[in-house]
């Protein structure tokens, strides 16, 4: 997959540990071991790295914008400390019933990313997620997807369901392993 030029990451369950109770404070945001270094390796290889993340805790009123911004600032600072960075970050603050076009499994955030980074060749883009809705969004946007099993859902069930949508889908334990494959290391 060395032809990949842009890597779109889900946040919770891919970059940081996820929780069924949401990530509601900077203290709760904890990077998955190896994920920040994997982002740094992508950047060192000249790849664009972006984040597209559903964050319905905002729309549900479970967290305010300033606390969310503090969580994002922690993610950015720790990523930069590890030698990485993000070229673009897209967030859907809406709940599942809000009727927006950006919430995954819809492709809105991914399409916004293409526009923001002037991506013309979708074959050069991969989405790395930990859920079926990440795969659905990638499929709807016309790009490849990779699953990681570092989220809190049932990884085997997610993979089987996703494989029906994208038969060539690959699954890795975590982002670090996926990046080894992308960079053909």
Rg (CA), the chain: 15
- With H, G, I as helix, E, B as strand and everything else as coil, classify residue 97: coil
Active site residue 130: no
Q: Is the dihedral of CA 28, 29, 34, 37 positive or negative?
A: negative
E strands within 70-135?
88-92, 125-129
Selecting among 12, 18, 130, 134, the annotated active-site residue is 12
Selecting among 10, 18, 130, 134, the annotated active-site residue is 10
Distance of CA 152 to the CA centre of its chain: 14
Under 8 Å between Cβ of 60 and 12: no
- With H, G, I as helix, E, B as strand and everything else as coil, classify residue 172: strand
Active site residue 112: no
- With H, G, I as helix, E, B as strand and everything else as coil, classify residue 71: helix
Q: Is the dihedral of CA 77, 151, 179, 119 positive or negative?
A: negative
Active site members: 10, 12
């Amino acid at each position: 997959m060395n032809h990949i030029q842009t890597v779109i990451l889900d946040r919770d369950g891919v970059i940081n540990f996820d929780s069924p109770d949401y990530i509601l404070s900077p203290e709760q945001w904890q990077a998955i071991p190896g994920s920040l270094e994997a982002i740094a390796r992508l950047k060192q290889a000249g790849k664009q790295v972006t984040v597209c993340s559903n964050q319905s805790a905002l729309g549900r009123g479970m967290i305010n914008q300033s606390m969310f911004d503090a969580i994002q600032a922690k993610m950015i600072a720790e990523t930069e400390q590890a030698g990485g960075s993000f070229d673009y970050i897209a967030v859907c603050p809406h709940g599942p019933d809000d009727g927006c076009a950006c919430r995954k499994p819809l492709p809105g955030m991914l399409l916004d990313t293409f526009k923001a980074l002037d991506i013309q060749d979708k074959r050069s883009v991969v989405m790395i997620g930990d859920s079926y809705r990440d795969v659905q969004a990638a499929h709807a946007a016309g790009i490849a997807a990779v699953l990681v099993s570092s989220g809190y859902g049932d990884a085997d069930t997610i993979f089987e369901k996703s494989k029906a949508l994208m038969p060539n889908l690959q699954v890795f334990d975590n982002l670090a392993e996926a990046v080894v494959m992308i960079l053909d290391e």
